[in-house]
């Protein structure tokens, strides 16, 4: 029986707990990496998540950010932030061991607007992620680093590359940092198994989903030991079409047992 690992930026856990439970019933993922909870650990709907069949490890903060790892198995917490946090208190990283994997839920900074403090913060956060990923890979474990990377890796992952060329999600600096992460030896699961262009995981609110004006910015990055077990990876657009949807939709991979 294959192991299913999903990532989903839910854009408010409070607003989306119903969608999460409904989708989990249909898709039956074993592990779900969540981003943009927009709640504290105290505000996390633990009972509903438990009723859906999942244990949860939550790193939250008021109003913004927030990440969690949900699992049908036991969760051994390993980290609640990236190393070298300094004065960075934003809840964007959580890591654990579960179902025989090491997993992390990542909410990479958006970086817009690019002319202020946010873009340098994004790039330095990516540097910290890469340094930590290098350490993790030395363990030679099966690892899944999943989340909202706020990076469309190439123009093939963007509905209108020219219009978004200067956006922090597409800027060359962002893409160079993302490639540097891949160059450590991790595999981006969806692209490893698909050649289609212009397939997306995020669409802005308004008419974007209707018009398929999206970006592919939610990714599952696998260590070689996980990538050797990769059997499938798909983007499930169903929940994006539901009433009161998140602006992101889940990405799911299957790993051989």
Given the rule CB under 7 A, which residues bind DNA? 11-12, 14-15, 38-39, 62-65, 109-110, 112, 118, 204-206, 244
CA distance 71 to 68: 10
Q: How far apart, in Å, do the first and last CA atoms of the chain sit? A: 6
CA distance 86 to 64: 19
Question: How many residues are there in the chain?
Answer: 257
Residue 4 C-beta: closest distance to DNA, Å: 25
Q: Taking Cα atoms as reference points, which of 152, 137, 64, 153 lies closest to residue 104?
A: 137
Residue 163 C-beta: closest distance to DNA, Å: 9
Which residue, 13 or 222, is less far from DNA as judged by CB?
A: 13
Give me the sign of the Cα torsion angle 158, 162, 163, 169.
Answer: positive
- Strand, helix or coil for residue 215: strand
Residue 38 C-beta: closest distance to DNA, Å: 4
Residue 256 C-beta: closest distance to DNA, Å: 33
Which residue, 55 or 114, is less far from DNA as judged by CB?
A: 114
Residue 162 C-beta: closest distance to DNA, Å: 14
Which residue, 16 or 191, is less far from DNA as judged by CB?
A: 16
User: Which residue carries 């169903």 as its tokens?
Assistant: 238
Q: What angle do CA 166, 66, 53 make, to 5 degrees?
A: 125
Which residue, 160 or 228, is less far from DNA as judged by CB?
A: 160
Which residue, 169 or 222, is less far from DNA as judged by CB?
A: 169
- Strand, helix or coil for residue 94: strand
């Amino acid at each position: 029986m294959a192991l299913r690992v999903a990532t989903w930026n839910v854009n408010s856990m409070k607003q989306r707990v119903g969608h999460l439970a409904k989708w989990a019933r249909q898709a039956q993922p074993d592990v779900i990496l969540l981003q943009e909870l927009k709640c504290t650990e105290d505000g996390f709907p633990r009972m509903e998540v438990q009723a859906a069949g999942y244990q949860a490890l939550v790193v939250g903060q008021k109003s913004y950010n927030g990440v969690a790892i949900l699992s049908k198995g036991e969760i051994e917490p390993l980290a609640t932030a990236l190393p070298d946090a300094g004065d960075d208190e934003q809840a964007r990283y959580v890591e654990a061991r579960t179902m025989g994997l090491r997993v992390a839920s990542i909410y990479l900074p958006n970086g817009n607007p690019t002319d202020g403090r946010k873009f340098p913060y994004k790039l330095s956060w990516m540097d910290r992620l890469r340094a930590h990923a290098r350490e993790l890979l030395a363990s030679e474990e099966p690892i899944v680093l999943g989340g909202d990377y706020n990076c469309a890796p190439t123009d093939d992952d963007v509905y209108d590359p020219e219009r978004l060329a200067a956006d922090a999600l597409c800027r060359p600096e962002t893409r160079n940092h993302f490639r540097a992460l891949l160059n450590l030896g991790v595999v981006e699961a969806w692209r490893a198994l698909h050649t289609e262009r212009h397939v997306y995981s995020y669409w802005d609110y308004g008419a974007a989903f209707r018009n398929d004006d999206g970006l592919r910015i939610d990714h599952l990055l696998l260590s070689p030991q996980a990538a050797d077990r990769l059997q499938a990876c798909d983007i499930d657009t169903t929940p994006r079409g539901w009433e009161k949807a998140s602006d992101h939709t889940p990405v799911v991979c299957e790993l051989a047992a």
